[in-house]
Structure 1
Amino acid sequence: MTVALRGLSTVVPPTVLVQPEVRDVFAAQEGLSRLSQRIISTSFDVSGIETRYTVLGELSRDAHPDEPVFFDIDSGELLLPGTKARNELYIEHATRLYLDAGRAAIEATPGVEASDVTHVITVSCTGFYAPGPDYVIARDLGLPAGVQRFHLGFMGCYASIPALRLAKQLCEADASAVVLVVSVELCTLHLRSSNDPDTIVASSLFADGAGAAIVTAREPEPGERAFDLDRFATRITPVGEGDMAWKIGDHGFEMVLSTAVPAIIGEHITGALEPLFAPEPALVDALSADASGDAIEHWAIHPGGRSILDKVEARLALSEAQLLPARDTLRDFGNMSSATVLFVLRRILDDAASADGDRVAAMAFGPGLTVETALLTVRG
């Protein structure tokens, strides 16, 4: 049975963050040490990001709210709201993005209607509420009353790949299944001024966005662009548990993202790919010969940061062109946690250079340090 990823759609909120302008705001905050100011300048300038998107309209140049919550544009001060205030904004804005992305995926899938959806899988690590987004999607998009719902929460940047794996498994168990997968991340709700280097790096990278798709064994329509979901694999690296973490604090969620992460990924990336490639000896041989870029045409790498992409490119001997979808996504949208790899896959699908039958290796990294991988084939 072939299970396909169809109707892949992405959505971002309307407020644009221009990287140098955000850098200057963070650098101007009171209480920063000289070292922190240097880290801010370096982190923002070498991030590979030009623009990001946020649900925080207060960060717009033209915003002048009577009672600012996150940013007082008149004084230039970044405020420090509590976790409850941040999560209330998550409920408001994430709900809208879940619905917009889910609706877009259904409308982009020929021959599939809302009434056909049998399962919903939602993904997020940047907020919580119940009844949750899976319930809201079922209610407001007109899905069947008996639709089965799952939420993958607080897994981090790699979570969309397990969501697609679960969707594939549901389709393999029931050939009539039509699974709607929606990832929404509002990372900017947790940005704050700090002297902590990990917090500064996170503030230079993270952004808001949503991605959604339909996973089903139904045959794509003639001419429809889609991906076959071939197989998935998971690896936990033997080191790095303390180098990437995501915890709930009194003033939002707190990211640990140490400078050791790119080196850990570079050291263990081939081992993480081995179980994915194992069923095809030619792919294993290419990996051993540092020729993975010759065996796999396209690489959907989660752009956790520019240094991570640099390590992946060098370690796997990939071409600059093979990293363009990831680098361009980072440049235009920043790191949107779990939603980001869906943006990268969308760019590959939109690329005129990707042809029917091309292989795609997807990879995302998160707490653990966990590496989630997927092998896909371009259809259409």
Structure 2
Amino acid sequence: MFSTLSIVGDYLNNQILFKSCNIFSLLQWCGLIAFIAIFYLKKKQKKVYLVDFACYKPYAKCICSKEMFLNASKCTGQFKDESLNFQRKIMDKSGFGDKTYVPDSLLKVPPNICTIEARKETESVIFGAIDELLLKTKMKVEDIEIIITNCCIFNPTPSLSAMVVNHYKINHQILCYNLNGMGCSAGLIAIDLAKQLLQVHSNSYALVVSTENLTSAWYLGNNRSMLLSNCLFRVGGTAILLSNLSSDSRRSKYHLKHTVRTHKGSQDICYNSILRREDETNTITGISLSKDLLNSAGFALKANISTLGKSVLPLLEQLKYVSTFLAKKYFNTRIKVYTPDFKLAFEHFCIHTGGKAVQDEIQKVLGLSDYQLEPSRMTLYRYGNTSSSSVWYVLAYCEAKGRIKKGDRIWQIAFGSGFKCSTIVWCALRNVDPINEINPWSDEIHEFPVDVSS
């Protein structure tokens, strides 16, 4: 009887062992299949190419020197003496030159702030940029399947994307998207959206148009936090053509490598750092820029580069960061967390021209040289803060200087209300010859860089 029980016991043990082995083997096979599937999907993912882009250069009649700007503000009769003095101090520290642009509506006395003028401003910028892009790429509008427009303040009905469709009489099957209220980072967010759409729409072209509207954003009150936006923003816009056609790799300028978006809207301080609201009079609307703006930009940037660093930094830089981070967290809070050297990952830095203080902060955080920050500083000096399109004027500067070589890695960084930080990484597919480029800098690039240290 005992031998029978022993045999039964051995049989049951063998069965359990057999089933355990089968389950373990099954899990191994499932893991292998999942790995192969993920690897295949990543390999199969369509590459996105930047065929070309065009930055709008306004007419010379729209040039507004700092003194012209201050005189125009005075002639409105809306600003108190202390507000005029405040604007003068801001302009003196702005990093601006005397050739930035404002719309016709704001050069009139008094300023003509209305929807008609706002629409005229936007149409001239958008259509000007698109016309130049079509000329550069020799594209026909009917070949474009996706259109994405972005403008933070001006939100007309029909939308800006519908404005483009109507002007160019584009096919009714076009996919249109219009982004509003996303601030200066919206241009890079639009690129990220285009990338996702191009992953699911085969053999397609996407047109991204980024701009801002000064007419509708102009503030005619005396709240200092709102007067800042008057001083910092200027006219500008850009049109970008993206493609997922493998054949376009031969004529495109750049290959899209990474997009990273960081949102700090859950923190009230960050959320309220850029806010459109009524001032103390409850009758005049403006964009309020708080004192927490720089800190918000710093928080968002650090969170963003922590994510991006995993994809672009050399392994040794990642290990230095992780080891000091863990040491600070678990052993000694006085240990300073290592700041990775992003200069090892990129040849060019296209930083949003939010303002001189923002540029100084980013230079300090990333440890950039004056040469590396030069394109951003010169763009601020020549064109001012053109909001979501500014990083493209910065890239255009690099191209006009003949700095873009095949294989170079370009990092675009932009910040926006919310508070958001968006970054994009491109890889140059060819040398960009400045002689053969239509570029907003072409006829004056020899005048730069200029000294902006004072």
Residues 53 and 208 of structure 1 are in contact (CA less than 8 Å); yes or no, is this contact kept in structure 2? Answer: yes
TM-score (structure 1 length as normaliser): 0.85
Q: Which runs of 5+ in 1 are unaligned?
A: 60-70, 73-77
Counterpart in the other structure of 2:120:
92
- 1:300: which partner in 2? 350
- Structure 1 window deviating more from structure 2 (183-192 vs 337-346): it is 183-192
Counterpart among 342, 359, 375 of residue 409 in structure 2: 359
Q: Give the one of 147, 160, 163 matched to 2:174.
A: 147
Farther-moved stretch of structure 1 (280-289 vs 184-193): 280-289
CA contact (8 A) 1:5 1:229 kept: yes
Q: Secondary structure at the match of 1:355?
A: coil
How many Å apart are 1:293 and its aligned residue? 2.2
Partner Cα distance (2:155, 2:299) in 1:
34
Q: Which whole-Å CA distance do the structure 1 matches of 2:92 and 2:383 have between them?
A: 15
Per mean C-alpha deviation after superposition, the further-off stretch among 177-186 and 287-296 is: 287-296
Alignment check: 8 A CA contact 1:358 1:378 kept: yes
Report the TM-score when normalising by structure 2: 0.72
Distance (Å, rounded) in 2 between the aligned partners of 1:264 and 1:125: 19
Report the Cα distance in structure 2 between the residues aligned to 1:45 and 1:19, rounded to whole angstroms: 8
**Aligned counterparts, 1:266-281, within 5 A:** 266-281=298-313
Equivalent residue runs for 1:213-362 within 5 Å: 213-218=240-245, 219-220=247-248, 222=250, 224=251, 226-237=253-264, 238=267, 239-247=269-277, 254-282=286-314, 285=318, 288-362=338-412
SS of 1:45's equivalent in the other structure is helix
Which structure dedicates a bigger proportion of its chain to helix? Answer: 2
The answer to whether residue 208 in structure 2 is matched with residue 177 in structure 1 is no
Deviations 1:189-220 (A, max 9, x none): 43234321112211111111110011112344
**3-state DSSP class of the match of 1:278?**
helix
Query: Relative to structure 1, is the Cα distance of residues 145 and 204 closer, same or farther in structure 2, using a 3 angstrom cutoff?
Result: same
Deviation at 1:142? 4.2
Corresponding residue of 1:134: 161
Is the Cα–Cα contact under 8 Å of residues 314 and 344 in structure 2 kept in the other structure?
Answer: no
What are the Cα deviations for residues 144-194 of structure 1, in whole angstroms up to 9, with x where unaligned?
Answer: 331111111121111011110111111111231100111222224432343
Cα distance in 1 for residues equivalent to 2:278 and 2:126: 22
| Kept in 2: contact 1:106–1:213 (CA 8 A) | no
Alignment of 1:184-203 (within 5 A): 184-203=211-230
Counterpart in 2 of 1:65?
none
SS of the residue corresponding to residue 209 of structure 2 reads strand
How far apart in 2 are the matches of 1:264 and 1:141?
40
Following the alignment from structure 1 to structure 2, what is the Cα–Cα distance between the partners of residues 98 and 88?
Answer: 15
Q: Name the counterpart of 2:134.
A: 106
SS of residue matched to 2:380: helix
Secondary structure in 1 matching 2:314: helix
Aligned match of 1:68: none
Give yes or no for contact 2:221–2:284 (8 Å, CA) kept in 1.
Answer: no
Structure 2: runs of 5 or more not aligned: 1-45, 322-337, 431-454
Q: How many equivalent pairs are there?
A: 358
* Alignment correspondent of 1:42: 89
Q: Contact 1:170/1:177 (CA < 8 Å) preserved in 2? A: no
Q: 2:100 aligns with which of 52, 58, 63?
A: 52
Please report how far the alpha carbon of residue 33 of structure 1 lies from its aligned counterpart in structure 2 after TM superposition: 5.1
- Residue identity opposite 1:17 in structure 2: C
Match of 1:210 in 2: 237
In the alignment, the residues of structure 2 paired with residue 378 and residue 42 of structure 1 have an alpha-carbon distance, to the nearest angstrom, of 40
Provide closer, same or farther for how the CA distance between residues 359 and 248 of structure 1 changes in structure 2, counting only shifts above 3 A: farther
Alignment check: 8 A CA contact 1:202 1:257 kept: yes
SS at match of 2:206: strand
Are 1:26 and 2:73 counterparts? yes
Task: Assess if the C-alpha contact under 8 Å between 2:114 and 2:215 holds in 1.
Answer: no
Equivalent residue of 2:271, what SS? Answer: coil
Q: Which has the higher strand share?
A: 1
SS in 1 for 2:402: coil
Q: Which moved more, 1:192-201 or 1:362-371?
A: 192-201
Query: AA paired with 1:44?
Result: M
Superimposed CA distance per residue, residues 275-318 of structure 1 (whole angstroms, 9 cap, x where no aligned partner): 12322441763874442123211111111111000000011001
Query: Equivalent residue for 1:63?
Result: none
Q: 2:57 aligns with which of 12, 15, 35?
A: 12
Query: 2:185 is paired with a residue of what secondary structure?
Result: coil
> Whole-Å Cα distance in 2 between the matches of residues 315 and 52 of structure 1?
28
Q: Rg bigger for which structure?
A: 2
User: Conserved in 2, the CA contact under 8 Å of 1:212 and 1:342?
Assistant: no
Q: 2:354 is aligned with what amino acid?
A: G
Distance 2:301 2:288 in 1: 21
Distance in 2, Cα, partners of 1:11 & 1:43: 26
Question: Which structure 1 residue ranges, 4+ long, deviate > 6 Å from structure 2?
Answer: 248-252
Separation in 1 of the partners of 2:72 and 2:156?
31
Aligned mates of 1:248, 1:160 — CA distance in 2: 26
Provide the rounded CA distance (Å) in 2 between the counterparts of 1:27 and 1:267. 37
**Is the contact between residue 190 and residue 252 of structure 1 (CA under 8 Å) also seen in structure 2?**
no
In the alignment, the residues of structure 1 paired with residue 356 and residue 236 of structure 2 have an alpha-carbon distance, to the nearest angstrom, of 19
